């Protein structure tokens, strides 16, 4: 990745989106989704790009990707072509009651939370160009689908993400979106889980990126035990690999954290944020 190395907030979206985004926002419906009639058909180049991306990630997943995430990826049978959302939705509905909906890209907060709260996960329709295999500024279908969707087959995680959507709708009204965005960033995009065989990645931002997958499970970054209060104060960068990751023991831990969130969000809004890679007063290094 590249960029100015500045802290960032609001990866889950904003009240108003920046100009110049790639997706077809002109045809989006009121909930942020795209109607089937405007979805461009997939080209041979699109499918080739997808196969290249999946194949090179598959080579580095052993010993790095979480077992439940890998099981979900196998259930989706999506290695050979850009997946059809309706086919994947049938698998998810049978497993956890979730479905997928096409969207132009980043969504404003209210739309994003509203979809999650109704067990609909928004997936960007367009796919990156062949020259963008290693870095892309906006999330595309490869990030959204390969990164996020496999774990939606896991019941505890599926329950958590729905609860996160409901929490987001409340937090938006209370001016708590900055700390809530940090929770999403560290625990949905860049989360690690301790499994019997060792640490594994489940976060979408890790597993959809070759660079981040190799980095996250290397000896370079710091790894901390998951602490909801610490996560809500932790700012981040969107333009470089992460200097710090948080480790959970099971996906039910994320759902339990939602119950603690309202009072912790209030405290996080008032507290001084911890800079990217910074040291918190009560940090607990992961020793597993």
Q: Hey, which residues are catalytic here?
A: 143, 148, 189, 208
Strand-pair partners of 230: none
Measure the CA–CA gap between 270 and 267, rounded to whole angstroms.
Answer: 5
Measure the CA–CA gap between 183 and 162, rounded to whole angstroms.
Answer: 14
Query: Which structure tokens are listed for 197?
Result: 């065989």
CA atoms within 13 A on the CB side of 145: 30
What's the start-to-end Cα distance of the chain, in Å?
A: 29
C-alpha 3: how far from chain center: 20
**Alpha helix (H) residue ranges in 131-278:** 141, 155-174, 177-184, 204-207, 210-216, 228-233, 252-270
Q: Which residue carries 């609860």 as its tokens?
A: 163
Identify the three-state secondary structure at position 79. coil
Measure the CA–CA gap between 222 and 210, rounded to whole angstroms.
Answer: 19
């Amino acid at each position: 990745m590249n960029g100015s190395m500045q802290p960032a907030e609001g990866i889950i979206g904003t009240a108003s989106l920046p100009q110049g985004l790639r997706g077809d926002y002109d045809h989006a419906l009121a909930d942020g989704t795209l109607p089937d009639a405007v979805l461009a058909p997939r080209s041979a180049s699109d499918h080739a790009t997808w196969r290249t991306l999946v194949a090179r990630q598959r080579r580095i997943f052993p010993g790095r990707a979480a077992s439940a995430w890998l099981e979900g990826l196998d259930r989706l049978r999506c290695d050979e072509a850009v997946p059809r959302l309706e086919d994947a939705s049938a698998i998810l509905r049978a497993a956890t009651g979730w479905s997928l909906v096409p969207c132009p890209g980043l969504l404003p907060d209210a739309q994003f939370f509203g979809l999650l709260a109704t067990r609909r996960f928004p997936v960007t329709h367009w796919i990156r160009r062949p020259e963008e295999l290693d870095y892309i500024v906006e999330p595309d279908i490869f990030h959204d689908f390969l990164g996020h969707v496999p774990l939606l087959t896991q019941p505890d995680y599926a329950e958590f993400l729905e609860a996160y959507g409901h929490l987001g709708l409340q937090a938006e009204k209370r001016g708590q979106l900055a700390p809530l965005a940090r929770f999403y960033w560290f625990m949905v995009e860049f989360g690690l889980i301790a499994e019997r065989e060792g640490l594994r990645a489940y976060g979408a931002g890790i597993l959809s990126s070759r660079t981040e997958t190799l980095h996250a499970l290397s000896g370079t970054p710091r790894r901390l035990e998951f602490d909801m209060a610490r996560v809500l104060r932790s700012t981040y960068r969107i333009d470089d690999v992460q200097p710090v990751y948080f480790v959970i023991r099971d996906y039910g831990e994320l759902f339990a954290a939602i119950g603690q969130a309202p009072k912790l969000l209030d405290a996080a809004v008032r507290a001084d944020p911890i800079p990217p890679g910074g040291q918190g007063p009560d940090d607990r290094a992961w020793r597993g």
